[in-house]
Amino acid sequence: MSDVRYKHLMAVDNPDDLRRMTRGELKAYSEELRDYIVECCAVNPGHLGSSLGTVELTVALHYVYNTPEDRIVWDVGHQAYAHKIITERRDAFLRNRTRGGISGFPRIAESRYDAFGAGHASVSISAAFGMAKALEMQGSRNHVVAVIGDGALTGGLAFEGLNNAGASPKTDILVILNDNEMSIDKPSGALDRYLVRMSTSRWYNNLKNTLWRGLAVMPKLHSMVRTAGNAVKQGLLKNSNLFESLNFRYFGPIDGHNIDELIRTFEALKHIGGPKLLHVKTTKGKGYAPAEADPSVWHAPGRFDVATGERIKSNYQAARYQDVFGHTLLDLAREDERIVGITPAMPSGCSMNIVMREMPERCFDVGIAEGHAVTFSAGIAAAGGRPFCNIYSSFMQRAYDNVIHDVALQNLPVVLCLDRAGIVGEDGATHHGAFDLAYFGCVPNVAIAAPRNEWMLRQMMYTASKADYPTVIRYPRGVGEGVEWQGVAFEGVEVGRGERLKDGEDVAIVAVGTMANVALRASERSSHSVAVYDLRYAKPLDEALLREVGERFKRVITIEDGVIRGGVGEAVVARLSREGYTPHVKNLGIDDCFVEQGKPAELYADCGYDEEALLKSIDEMMR
């Protein structure tokens, strides 16, 4: 990146530098900032579209507010790349989302400017209100701003925050609704249509906003006008808008790419106390034509050519697990009219869009609302349906109670498909699916399936569709083993029955899911005689298989793509012990820690359960 081309960008190391710029310089800086994000993400992929849409908004926020003393809370963090670059991480952004580099999401431990960490949606309002209440109790006059997208606003937690904050009329908090009419995919539901109606009903909003901005500098009149304004509002507008009904003063919508308007509005709102919501209209992918034309694809496009917009495809031959899921669900739905698909705002991320294109009436995108997705699925099952609810493993953590109370306790035949189970890579600690084997392993009535390849995923989905109890199917991000699966006849698999993949004499490896493939490769390379077992099901465990292991082997290694504590390996040890077997067992998996970002191969090595680590464990056991 040349200093000449990025003259204004290189002049800003922190928000103080930004505040010394003229309005004209701010606009030039914004254009350079946008180009910098595009060029960096072209070679080091990340969440591009959302951050391009918030460049001017971010510049204006840091220009007006005295960060980090004033706090900005970003929802999720997909929209926070400009924030990171402005706040002392311009050069570090070149290594965004890499091992040892900065995180793709805000993190308190990373920067004093990151007021709150967020990798999952809808948390910003609750967190910001907590900060605002704490500052109020401390007598501080610093400001707190939450920036939340219209997609994240569909999450129930966002409304819990609005409801609670609206009940504290003296607590100063500004919520900025970044409305780009997109989540990762096109948003769905009544809230999206409501925001569109608000955006086109400007007559009342313009009148009110002009009045509030004019009175912002006259605080003594503020209370009287607010009381009078409420009376006028009730006379002019019989149905107050949603946010005002929650005691938030609503402003907007305004142009989120007009720096002058943004600065003018923020300056006025700083002098208005209490809960406020500013509705800002932005364009996802703004300023980069390919991203504007297809915002879903360019949410996280991978590597691409900046000049042509051509995405650089990976040279893999095997199918992605998510596509195996999508095509198999479509095949199942063709055979069984009871089958439906449910996803919380991730139709393209989990490939349920494959079914949506052919059977839109059989698929439901419920918005960013994982708990609702599970309980909605439970309702369908209770009425005779066969729901396949697909939620990323780390996002399923948000719906844990719904699974226990609404699905498992009632023993309903809901199929919970956990995409992105195990290590996911560059998204880091907020997105690794590290805990599902542990947190579902203790829940009664639930079967937990872990396919080692594409064919097995297809057959486990078929088996689950015929079950009369809940089934969890967990599979990783990325591509499979290249095993033939598409169009293959449904055979099913026996629930709770594992398989010996390779015989041996010295050491037994008991593997879960795709770790069976790692175990096979390591066993072929080992100088020792190593047997490999694929459990297939983490629950119920195959007792006959474990008895065979206990009777034949004095040395056992378990390996799973998840946490060790409370995981399958510990369950295997407990089962062997109950049967009276006491082999020397080593459990491989994720230790008691959060795993940072990096390429999956790097992280498997760091965590000690890649192929090399497994070979080392075999050698150590044989000493």
Q: What number does CATH give the domain 9-299?
A: 3.40.50.970
pLDDT at 219: 47
Please calculate the CA angle 287-276-188 and round it to the nearest 5 degrees. 55
Q: Is the model's pLDDT at 390 over the cut of 70?
A: yes
Highest mean pLDDT among 292-296, 343-347, 603-607: 603-607
The tens digit of pLDDT for each residue in 585-618 reads 999 999 999 999 999 999 999 999 999 999 999 9
The tens digit of pLDDT for each residue in 133-154 reads 999 999 999 999 999 998 899 8
Q: How confident is the model at residue 237 (pLDDT cuts 50, 70, 90)?
A: very low
pLDDT at 194: 59
How much is the average pLDDT of 422-435? 96
474: annotated active-site residue: no
Instruction: Pick the catalytic residue from 208, 398, 420, 586.
Output: 398
Taking CA atoms, 508 is separated from 158, 228, 513, 528, 617, in Å, by 49, 78, 16, 11, 12
Instruction: Pick the catalytic residue from 34, 208, 284, 555.
Output: 284
Q: How confident is the model at residue 241 (pLDDT cuts 50, 70, 90)?
A: confident
The tens digit of pLDDT for each residue in 373-382 reads 999 999 999 9
Return the minimum-mean-pLDDT range out of 117-121, 274-278, 337-341, 379-383: 117-121
370: annotated active-site residue: yes
Q: Write the burial class of residue 156 (CB in 10 Å: 0-12 exposed, 13-18 middle, 19+ buried).
A: middle
The tens digit of pLDDT for each residue in 39-65 reads 999 999 999 999 999 999 999 999 999
Output DSSP code: residue 374: H
Q: Find the helix packing angle between 23-43 and 55-64, rounded to 10°.
A: 130
398: annotated active-site residue: yes
Return the minimum-mean-pLDDT range out of 15-19, 222-226, 466-470: 222-226
Q: Is the model's pLDDT at 37 over the cut of 50?
A: yes
Give CA–CA dist 357/329, Å, rounded. Answer: 12
% residues pLDDT > 70 (the chain): 90
From edge to edge, which strands make up the β-sheet containing 363-365?
363-365, 339-343, 386-390, 415-418, 471-474, 447-449, 537-539
Q: Is the model's pLDDT at 227 over the cut of 80?
A: no
Q: Which fold has domain 499-621?
A: Rossmann fold (3.40.50)
Is-same-fold flag (9-299; 499-621)?
A: yes
pLDDT at 183: 53
The dihedral over CA atoms of 238, 242, 246, 251, expressed in degrees to the nearest 10, equals: -90
**What's the N-to-C CA distance of the chain in angstroms?**
53
Instruction: Pick the catalytic residue from 56, 181, 370, 454.
Output: 370
% residues pLDDT > 90 (the chain): 86
Q: Is the model's pLDDT at 223 over the cut of 70?
A: no
- The residue among 505 and 239 whose pLDDT is bigger is 505
How much is the average pLDDT of 451-470? 98
pLDDT at 77: 80
Q: Tell me which architecture the domain covering 321-474 has in CATH.
A: 3-Layer(aba) Sandwich (3.40)
Return the minimum-mean-pLDDT range out of 214-223, 446-455, 493-502: 214-223
Q: How confident is the model at residue 206 (pLDDT cuts 50, 70, 90)?
A: low
pLDDT at 209: 54
Q: How confident is the model at residue 314 (pLDDT cuts 50, 70, 90)?
A: confident
Q: Is the model's pLDDT at 523 over the cut of 90?
A: yes
Q: What is the residue extent of each domain of the chain?
A: 9-299, 321-474, 499-621
Q: How confident is the model at residue 211 (pLDDT cuts 50, 70, 90)?
A: low
